[in-house]
Amino acid sequence: MSAVMKYREKFITRSIILRGEQQRQTVLSLVSNLPLDASHPLEIIVREEVRKRGLDANGYYWMRLGEIAEQGWFNGRKYISDVWHEYAKRHLMPDTVTTKNGEVVSKWIESDHHFNDAIRAQMLRRIHNDC
């Protein structure tokens, strides 16, 4: 059988997190047995692990801000979650933050959806303490 195939079954996407020698051997074995197909080539991508918690942390943050908006009062008034978020950003958040990719930036430059989970948790704790 030739190395180039005329037809092959659809390749099932695989993701392997490289943590140790066992995973390295799995990757090497997989790559050495991949089908070669000039008309429908496979693509190999190697990258840093993508953490899936970010959106969950973001969702939790906004859920808690919603609860605060429903139940919390500040200076005799109720505010929507967007106002609580802006309050936390201006008054409770440190001037520089570490983004998900490890970059330290000013809170005034970066969009808030790049904040790491620790910053969101810190902002929520401070809002609870201030109310």
Q: How far apart (Å, rounded) are the C-alpha atoms in residues 123 and 117?
A: 10
Per-residue pLDDT of 96-116, as tens digits, reads: 877 777 778 777 765 545 566
pTM score > 0.75 for this model?
Answer: no
- What is the pLDDT at residue 108? 72
Q: At a CB cut-off of 8 Å and minimum separation 6, what does 123 contact?
A: 61, 88, 89, 92, 93
End-to-end CA distance of the chain: 72
Local structure of 41: helix, strand or coil: coil
Give the burial class of 73: count Cβ atoms within 10 A of its Cβ; 0-12 exposed, 13-18 middle, 19 or more buried.
exposed
Spans of the chain below 50 pLDDT: 1, 112
In a domain, 93, yes or no: yes
In a domain, 87, yes or no: yes
- Which CATH number covers residue 120? 1.10.3790.10
Q: How far apart (Å, rounded) are the C-alpha atoms in residues 113 and 32?
A: 40
In a domain, 21, yes or no: no
Beta bridge partners of 41: none
Local structure of 77: helix, strand or coil: strand
The boundaries of the domain holding residue 101 are 53-130
